[in-house]
Chain A
């Protein structure tokens, strides 16, 4: 649905987006993750035909964002960062303006606006002007605006910034619901957001893509090995050599056991399968009591940090 190839955009000496290529498949919710200033907004602005790229191509539903810009714009709904709206306009009046400028036939407008009010829960504010609304409601008006012409692709730039926790939950729920039918590209610098709403993640830093995959894939990718924390009720002197001999184990780190008479290790293996099982069998064979066996998962947060700090993973 969205194809970006070798996209590059500079602002004077600053390279905002550098050779970025990725796809968003139909029906997918792709999280576009990166620290502030990484190039997310610039990529989205190229994709929405607001600015052209220096080189490379971006296509939406097969149409080129530069050469066939009007066709592309018809097929996308865009929510720029911080949901800019005309503050003097009434909510319904604004939606009606967007419906008409989006070229919806008159006969459909009222119907679509009513649907959007329903979908985005705007019923209680329909008689207010946009300037009177809270940030959460403005964001929902912004989302209603992106959906009114039933676009194929939604592009949402940081849709939850500046919202309180309850509003964030509501907006995410709304995005998840929308994502069942639409192709969504969503940028954020908040990791929970990606885990909560996206099926796939694309990490960008300093204008370059540094990683991509599902959230689980990324976590595993960044770790690249399996780590398990294990605790046996046995003497450390007995346990340590046996662990080192265990198949597939590439290293162990002694940890503070926090309990007298036990010893605790972090076991690192190259192979990802069956490590817990072998650790359990070791306990049975040696007659040790196993008091802890826990896979060490690195959160997406740590993955993100290590990727965007330029550490080799």
Chain B
């Protein structure tokens, strides 16, 4: 475990060494505020609720998370620093976890910076803390699952753009895509698709109902893709 901390620190601070972090945070906040006002017009009507806010966030994160994760491994491979990193006394999984947690911290920061929004909404409507906390918990779990996928796609290529597009495609299918297909599906298939859709589990948590099965679903997705990430980092040893 000893090597997770230095890698975490290097990666997390790395976001702030270039303008990347500031650009990401600004764009994310502008998108969240702008889209919410535009899509719901809630200031005019005065009756937007938290579901609009978290629903919107779950979509914005589909684009935002792969942008944060695309450099994690792709850049190491591009620069050739991968060879040095993997010959430090670091186990492959320690590097995978360190990088993952750093990107997760970055995303959590972005998500938490939106807190004034639901509070404002709460002031207009129903000032209940439960759905806000549930919504943020759900958003963190959802983005943690998105991120595990994005981190894995980053480890499959040395090109950040390819990593981004691949991650975005998978996320689009696994969240919006499945939801869309579900509308035209017969009942039994719709149930299945709902189970595998990353967003349906989020919806129930965001309603304030934290079901352990939803949490387990996200943790399984995270575990599975982090495992693929480790395997992908190991794959240099297979040729």
A51-B236, A84-B79 are known contacts. Are A73 and B17 too (CB-CB below 8 A)? Answer: no
Instruction: Say whether B185 faces chain A, with CB atoms less than 8 Å apart.
Output: no
- Alpha-carbon distance A134/B117, docked complex (angstroms): 47
- Alpha-carbon distance A251/B5, docked complex (angstroms): 71
Mask, B195-239, CB within 8 Å of A = 1, is 000000000000000000000000000000000000000001101
Pair A12/B17 contact, Cβ less than 8 Å = no
Pair B236/A50 contact, Cβ less than 8 Å = yes
Pair B239/A102 contact, Cβ less than 8 Å = no
- Alpha-carbon distance A202/B11, docked complex (angstroms): 40
Taking the nearest CB of chain A, how far is it from the CB of B210, in angstroms? 37
Name the contact of B18 in the complex, choosing from A48, A76, A84, A88 (C-beta under 8 A). Answer: A88
- Interface residue count for A (Cβ, 8 Å)? 30
Question: B50-58, B87-95, B129-137: which one contacts chain A?
Answer: B87-95
Instruction: Say whether B23 faces chain A, with CB atoms less than 8 Å apart.
Output: no
Mask, A125-140, CB within 8 Å of B = 1, is 0000100000000000
Q: Helix, strand, loop or mixed for chain B's interface? A: helix
List residues of chain B with CB within 8 A of the CB of A70: 89, 91
- Alpha-carbon distance A48/B84, docked complex (angstroms): 9
Name the contact of B84 in the complex, choosing from A74, A84, A103 (C-beta under 8 A). Answer: A84
Taking the nearest CB of chain B, how far is it from the CB of A158, in angstroms? 13
A97-B10, A100-B6, A101-B7 are known contacts. Are A85 and B81 too (CB-CB below 8 A)? Answer: yes
Instruction: Say whether B2 faces chain A, with CB atoms less than 8 Å apart.
Output: yes
Pair A48/B6 contact, Cβ less than 8 Å = no
Pair B6/A97 contact, Cβ less than 8 Å = yes
Which residue of A is nearest B83, CB measured?
A80
A50-B87, A73-B87, A88-B14 are known contacts. Are A12 and B6 too (CB-CB below 8 A)? Answer: no
Taking the nearest CB of chain B, how far is it from the CB of A29, in angstroms? 20
Pair B14/A84 contact, Cβ less than 8 Å = no
Mask, A70-89, CB within 8 Å of B = 1, is 10011010101110111111
- Alpha-carbon distance A108/B84, docked complex (angstroms): 22
- Alpha-carbon distance A44/B8, docked complex (angstroms): 28
Taking the nearest CB of chain B, how far is it from the CB of A275, in angstroms? 51
Name the contact of A73 in the complex, choosing from B7, B80, B82, B88 (C-beta under 8 A). Answer: B88
A-B contact count (CB 8 A): 69
Pair A101/B3 contact, Cβ less than 8 Å = yes
- Alpha-carbon distance A80/B7, docked complex (angstroms): 20
- Alpha-carbon distance A82/B237, docked complex (angstroms): 21
Instruction: Say whether B27 faces chain A, with CB atoms less than 8 Å apart.
Output: no
Pair B81/A84 contact, Cβ less than 8 Å = yes
Pair A84/B237 contact, Cβ less than 8 Å = no
Pair A49/B87 contact, Cβ less than 8 Å = yes
Mask, B20-37, CB within 8 Å of A = 1, is 000000000000000000
List residues of chain A with CB within 8 A of the CB of B39: none
List residues of chain A with CB within 8 A of the CB of B189: none
Which residue of A is nearest B7, CB measured?
A101
- Alpha-carbon distance A48/B14, docked complex (angstroms): 26
Mask, A177-208, CB within 8 Å of B = 1, is 00000000000000000000000000000000
List residues of chain B with CB within 8 A of the CB of A48: 87
Taking the nearest CB of chain B, how far is it from the CB of A278, in angstroms? 56
B: which residues have CB within 8 A of A? 2-3, 5-7, 9-10, 14, 17-18, 79-84, 86-91, 236-237, 239
Further 20 A-B residue pairs, CB within 8 A, beyond A80-B84, A84-B81, A145-B84: A12-B239, A48-B87, A50-B86, A51-B237, A52-B237, A73-B87, A74-B89, A80-B83, A82-B80, A86-B79, A89-B10, A89-B17, A97-B9, A98-B88, A100-B6, A100-B9, A101-B89, A101-B90, A102-B88, A103-B89
Chain A to chain B: the 4 pairs with minimum beta-carbon distance, closest first: A84-B80, A100-B6, A73-B89, A101-B6
